[in-house]
Structure 1
């Protein structure tokens, strides 16, 4: 039988009208703002009405460090949500929206895969409900108003050399990383050096995902530091008077999006910060809404557990007063072999020794997640080339780590292929075994927070940061920002800052190149190694093969 692509499977899905998906969660049609027939936003009034309801169980899906072999974290998240519903549980899924950057760059679509997908797949990977466009517009409105304020006399006495608010767009474009603006004479303003980040790295995106309601959103936008005066005092977004208009632009974007899986189960898809340069979790408002409406909520955090899960625990859970009941770590036999030194071209051949060697990466993630006080279970995302001996090697290894690994076939079989995991996850969640606590307290000095993550999660010997960075962190502490958590920006491909260092490296150091204060979002960003906040396109971008076919359908989008 010919192998069907993800998009072919998605097109053959039997979709229900979005109102019927809402009914499954008890959302009346008048509280849904439909975008076509198969997606809708949930009204702010309805979200607010849920405040006094009890919360369901929160299940986090994370993974080992990603490899070119593929892990299938989103696929497992979707499959587990379907699996819980299949065994009679009331479950919902919470994932992030897809950025156009990687969609047209290297990674392609981001809605799961095989028979564990969220639909409509094409719309979710393109414009969806316009949330990312709203974030881009709100961010760049502030950029325009800062330049305009300076142009018309600079009453706030902004030091033009110290404008820290850049511009954003939702596309990979390395040419825009560093630019000079306002060339062309007096009428265009004063030339200045600036640059673009990708929209998902915008502080506005982080604020959207961490705000509890529109009032909180407005306050956080006002707290954004956009520039400094010559005396180093900060200038805020509210000083520029942009916060109100930005909130207006984001009003609809704040409402969670409701869609469905291939098996017609509810999925919330809202917000989209990357986990390697931002905090990598879907919105707090979507997660909290789902927890009020379902008994089990399956969510994911971007990239491996060293990035997404760490930030989920230390940033999202801390700020939203959430606690996961159980964490699922996704691994594949193929990725274990790759971590064990096998080349991608040779992954189809049985190699138990390489699987055993590569398990060190998985073991470290298990240990790290357990350090937050939450129970861990491993999901082995099945590939056709996996052998029983290789699967047994992973299961045996995981047993030595004090937990269990379950083979999952949801990609090929949908919910029927993941019921074993669903039964165990529900049992662990119901047992209330978690004793969750973040890795560090609020009152720990900022540099010590960075050191704590580097040493306890990355297993680094030390953090390398010059005096300028340490002085900057101390200055932020003196200004009242010392209580904030830190958001590490680093490569997702290794525990270290060297993307080629696979497995479970030790004896490495973490160089911090730059620190940024996201006062509105409420965290400090530590930029480590060579990580970029504006990605570039690869030599052969996915965009080259994305096209419309004769039937007007999209081809090449996975």
Structure 2
């Protein structure tokens, strides 16, 4: 079978107006970016408010492994499958970040015969949303240092400036920097640093805002630092919120593209799931719910991160109530969770699959705690044996859920018909009784502890006196009602990425907390997780280039 980029390049794409017409979007509500992608005009989105909502389906997964799980591929395959069986369905995905595209992943638009296209555009500059977010973020950074240079009327304490800079690239050399070096004309030197754009609070704000007015309000609420008396200074105090909103005006409009089977897909926003909240934009999701009978969306990484934040942050903030969850697993990934090395995956090993299912079982239990019905999708690989697939099905049956083999990578929507039928049945059943894990009124430290103990199965959290003081101070300042966004390794239920399976008896160290007052959550940074990733020893960028015909090679 051809590689992903070859399959995507061979696809017959339809004009984007034709894709929009499938969900009744008029052509004059589309702002074209070429023939095959467009933004949806904000004024048209506001006209949808009185329409009823369709069913919301979340696709999540077990903890990621080097063997792959295929969550995005399954999301696309399921959306195509729902359309194949006669349902009116829309897919909602995040936009890929350039950091992982050139670092570990090499692309993030699905795979095989379950992809969104145009694949190269989506993986690279797309419609410029990430560049706009980077620019808006760094405009605020520049205005902070400029304000200090011209007299510091707001009396910012340079030791307590919390707003950093961002870049949509994995660059560990920028994690900690000293800025304004070079003499008097360059300002006052101070320590700062860079995060990756997908960890920016502005990315989170864009993805949680309901419209442009809400976007500007949230941007104005950003706390950029503190005075010596520890009172907060906001972006609104700097009068930066208006210009930032202008830079984000087009980026706030959802992007419409298509799958290989010419079904509509919204690809909009992209906060990381291990260091941010990991969900596509509320505006795209809500628009899709008004335009389709079924909306299939994903949340990043494993269910301990993506699904937990989808439920506790996105659904809470946007008033969403999911109707069903699809939990993706592969036999290969389960073997790795069962202790098998990557180079031994080709051989049949039912005991390893069964042992690895402990990770799957933990995620099933966690999802059920939110009151949403769940089905397991076994994302098929060619080396999977019947006995291994049967072992997964048997394990799931014992845990009260159905596991369905899905072959969308090789067969497109034909390979997800059974899964689509089951998901539609679950979503229509009315059995979802969704509720977030914790109440708004719970103290911040207790919210962190709830996630650590209930979702990660930790015995305790390790949090020092300074962090406890900071949380108490934010509660006193009126931020105690906010949810928590756990920044943690995606590879394990613990903060140790090497601990696979379903470990218990561990501690979750919280080394830092950050207030995202504009986005509306508290970030708890756990373990050694970095908000600016680094490149691996052999980055995917080394394999990306142009061929003799000027076409892109190396994205996969």
What TM-score results when the alignment is normalised by the length of structure 2? 1.00
Deviation at 1:445, TM superposition (A): 0.1
1:82 aligns with 2:80: yes
Map 1:243-258 → 2, pairs under 5 A? 243-258=241-256
Q: Which residue of 1 aligns with 2:212?
A: 214
Q: Which residue of 2 aligns with 1:528?
A: 526
Q: Which residue of 2 aligns with 1:321?
A: 319
What are the superposed Cα offsets for residues 198-239 of structure 1, whole Å, 9 maximum, x if unpaired? 000000000000000000000000000001000000000000
Return the alpha-carbon distance in structure 1 between the equivalents of residues 29 and 356 of structure 2.
Answer: 49
Match of 2:481 among 480, 483, 488: 483
Q: Which residue of 1 aligns with 2:554?
A: 556
What are the superposed Cα offsets for residues 350-374 of structure 1, whole Å, 9 maximum, x if unpaired? 0000001100000000000000000
Return the alpha-carbon distance in structure 1 between the equivalents of residues 455 and 225 of structure 2.
Answer: 33
Deviation at 1:449, TM superposition (A): 0.1
1:310 aligns with 2:314: no
Match of 1:64 among 55, 58, 62: 62
Q: Secondary structure at the match of 1:26?
A: coil
Consecutive unaligned residues of structure 2, counting only runs of 5 or more, are: none
Match of 2:195 among 194, 197, 218: 197
Return the alpha-carbon distance in structure 2 between the equivalents of residues 429 and 557 of structure 1.
Answer: 35
Q: Secondary structure at the match of 1:551?
A: coil
Return the alpha-carbon distance in structure 2 between the equivalents of residues 323 and 361 of structure 1.
Answer: 26
Deviation at 1:488, TM superposition (A): 0.1
Map 1:8-407 → 2, pairs under 5 A? 8-407=6-405
Return the alpha-carbon distance in structure 2 between the equivalents of residues 524 and 198 of structure 1.
Answer: 18
Q: Secondary structure at the match of 1:154?
A: coil
Return the alpha-carbon distance in structure 2 between the equivalents of residues 108 and 61 of structure 1.
Answer: 22
1:459 aligns with 2:457: yes
Consecutive unaligned residues of structure 1, counting only runs of 5 or more, are: none
Return the alpha-carbon distance in structure 2 between the equivalents of residues 158 and 403 of structure 1.
Answer: 55
Moved over 3 A (4+): none
Give aligned pairs, total. Answer: 556
Q: Secondary structure at the match of 1:503?
A: coil
What are the superposed Cα offsets for residues 396-427 of structure 1, whole Å, 9 maximum, x if unpaired? 00001101100000000000001000000001
What are the superposed Cα offsets for residues 504-549 of structure 1, whole Å, 9 maximum, x if unpaired? 0001000001000000000000000000000001110111110001
Deviation at 1:108, TM superposition (A): 1.1
What TM-score results when the alignment is normalised by the length of structure 1? 0.99
Q: Secondary structure at the match of 1:345?
A: helix
What are the superposed Cα offsets for residues 25-47 of structure 1, whole Å, 9 maximum, x if unpaired? 11111110000100000000110
Return the alpha-carbon distance in structure 2 between the equivalents of residues 480 and 376 of structure 1.
Answer: 36
Q: Secondary structure at the match of 1:183?
A: coil
Return the alpha-carbon distance in structure 2 between the equivalents of residues 495 and 277 of structure 1.
Answer: 15
Deviation at 1:557, TM superposition (A): 0.9
